[in-house]
Amino acid sequence: MWHDLSRAFVYETLHLQGRFADALHFFLYDTVKIWFLLITIIFAVSFLRTWMNTEMVRAYLAGKKEFTGNILAALFGIITPFCTCSAIPLFLGFLQARIPIGVTFSFLISAPLNNEIAIAMLFGLFGWKITALYIGFGLAVAIVGGWLIGRTNAERYVLLDVPVMQGDLHVAATSLNLKQRTGDAWKATLEIFRKIYLWVMAGVGVGAWFHGFVPAEFIADYAGGDAWYAVPVAAVMGIPMYASAAGVMPLVEVLTEKGMLLGTALSFMMAVTALSLPEAIILKQILHTRLIATFFAIIGVGIIGVGYLFNIIL
């Protein structure tokens, strides 16, 4: 319905035609659609999150075996609204609780890759099948990547003297009624939305410009198409950038429309959100360069592998 309304507004009410009209229609349609999906899914996740808190997560992970902990930490990453940099304080909290470092890295990888914003936007742009594949591959990268890091005896590369958390880690669930949970979830939803809605507009704006003014042949020629090197090149190009899924996802949609294979575009997006120079700079104050390099290498290989798998499957 909104697609038809925005088209009618641009082409019939404003009487616009040509590339600018195409770009404006794309901008209006995608912006409102993504805003609606973000509010809906962020509210649902925030409502579920009212039954748990950071201390509960730490307490639950502390007593688990390592590989089980990797799986649970990766799953917890889905319901935590963190980018790579804002996930680092919780990463330190996990270390303080003496949760194995490989498990903490599973969380650090999963949180930006599989957060509700990325899931909402993927669902809106590409449908549930692509979203389910992405979540599955993203969890696999987080679980396996954290497990591999745990095999390297990585604790010796933690530079900070993180004190052991004192006292009982068990935390009881907060007692809230339905009205309070709904109110807290709505408050959290608005807080997150206020932080990202301009990024959505900026990302959709860039995507709209590509959609209206960049010829498909340009993308096909310079994005590598199905060339073997397209995926690793896209992943490497994403590392110097730093943006949330809200900012980069609309560009992924347009790049695929213009001829870039979906796996290549997703590798670019995953590198932007999960591997970034700002993250490396912050981690440098906490971890030895060797561990940071190992982290980037393992996740980089995982992201490239996911890109190839998407291109083969789709």
Residue 161, pLDDT score? 64
Q: Considering the chain, what percentage of its residues have pLDDT values greater than 90?
A: 3
Residue 167, pLDDT score? 47
86-104 pLDDT, tens digit each: 556 667 667 766 778 888 8
Contacts (Cβ under 8 Å, ≥6 apart) of 195: none
125-143 pLDDT, tens digit each: 788 888 899 899 889 989 9
Q: Where are the domains of the chain?
A: 2-163+198-313
User: In which band, very low, low, confident or very high, does the pLDDT at 144 lie, cut at 50, 70 and 90?
Assistant: very high
pLDDT at 31 over 60: yes
Residue 257, pLDDT score? 77
Three-state SS for 287? strand
pTM (2 d.p.): 0.68
Residue 18, pLDDT score? 84
* Contact predicate 113/141, CB 8 Å: yes
Three-state SS for 196? helix
Burial label, 149 (beta-carbon count in 10 A; 0-12, 13-18, 19+):
buried
CA atoms lying within 13 Å on the CB side of residue 54: 13
44-78 pLDDT, tens digit each: 767 876 776 556 666 667 666 778 889 988 888 87
Residue 143, pLDDT score? 93
d(CA 123, CA 1): 17
The listed range with the strongest mean pLDDT (18-22, 177-181, 215-219, 301-305) is 301-305
Crossing angle, helix 116-126 and helix 245-257, to 10 degrees? 20
Q: Which one has a higher pLDDT value, 58 or 153?
A: 153
Mean pLDDT computed over every residue of the chain: 77
Q: Which one has a higher pLDDT value, 186 or 213?
A: 186
Residue 166, pLDDT score? 47
The listed range with the strongest mean pLDDT (237-251, 255-269, 294-308) is 294-308
pLDDT at 176 over 90: no
**How many Cβ atoms are within 10 Å of 259's Cβ, its own excluded?**
17
